[in-house]
Structure 1
């Protein structure tokens, strides 16, 4: 399974935000610069993360973005569910004529379930706590 770039950069953005002091606001432009992704793409990602409650976006002169909840309460599986289209195959009758007899769909459904269950065992905090190499790469003090 490969995550879309949308989910990939969403996770990276959250890791960046989690590596900052809790009260520090940053900008979408700063996140964009750190990861070398287009601003338009990151705006869409941050908007979705904001709608899902993972990011708090404040408009205006003193605005910016920061985590919307504590990093230790954000499960990686929840982020992936919120950002990733998790349908591995198109099982519509119009697309696949073996759908009524297919035994692959439940196997793939279970695989996705197991994948997300494993991701649910990990929080955003685990990705950043006591990780000096990460801080150095992100230039976070």
Structure 2
């Protein structure tokens, strides 16, 4: 299973914000440049994270992005579930399949996806963003 670029961008934003010193903030343009992600793409991820209540975005002078939750309270599985598109891993319904009724692959893949999310739920943002942020400038 490969995560979407949207999920990757959202996770990077959260990890970056979790590593900032207290009171510090980041801006979407700065993050887009630092992580080499198109601004519009990163802005959509920021909007999603803000709507979810995980970050706050303040406009204007002195504004920027900050975490709205404690890193130890945010489960990575919750973030990935919210950013990955819904649907099944394999599409068995679009075309007739001679294995229909005897195939357990769809169930196996769904079990694997659930195990993947369950494992991600064992990690918090604090767990994956422990190292202090290094300056690239």
TM-score (norm 1): 0.85
Kindly indicate whether residue 108 of structure 2 is the aligned counterpart of residue 96 of structure 1: no
Kindly indicate whether residue 94 of structure 2 is the aligned counterpart of residue 127 of structure 1: no
Kindly indicate whether residue 77 of structure 2 is the aligned counterpart of residue 77 of structure 1: yes
Aligned residues: 133
Q: Partners of 1:103 and 1:97 in 2: how far apart?
A: 16
Q: Partners of 2:12 and 2:104 in 1: how far apart?
A: 35
Q: Partners of 1:50 and 1:8 in 2: how far apart?
A: 16
SS in 2 for 1:65: strand
Q: Give per-residue Cα distances to partners, 1:108-136, cap 9 Å, x unaligned.
A: 1110100000000001111222x25xx22
SS in 2 for 1:57: strand
SS in 2 for 1:56: strand
Q: Partners of 1:100 and 1:48 in 2: how far apart?
A: 38
Runs of 4+, deviation exceeding 6 Å: none
Gaps of 5+ in 2: none
TM-score (norm 2): 0.87
Query: Could you say if the C-alpha distance between residues 106 and 22 of structure 1 is closer, same or farther in structure 2, counting changes exceeding 3 Å?
Result: farther
How far off is 1:68 after superposition? Answer: 1.8
SS in 2 for 1:11: helix
Q: Partners of 1:50 and 1:100 in 2: how far apart?
A: 43
SS in 2 for 1:85: coil
Partner of 1:59: 59
Q: Give per-residue Cα distances to partners, 1:83-127, cap 9 Å, x unaligned.
A: 012531223x3x132385242221111101000000000011112
Partner of 2:31: 31
Partner of 1:2: 2
Gaps of 5+ in 1: none
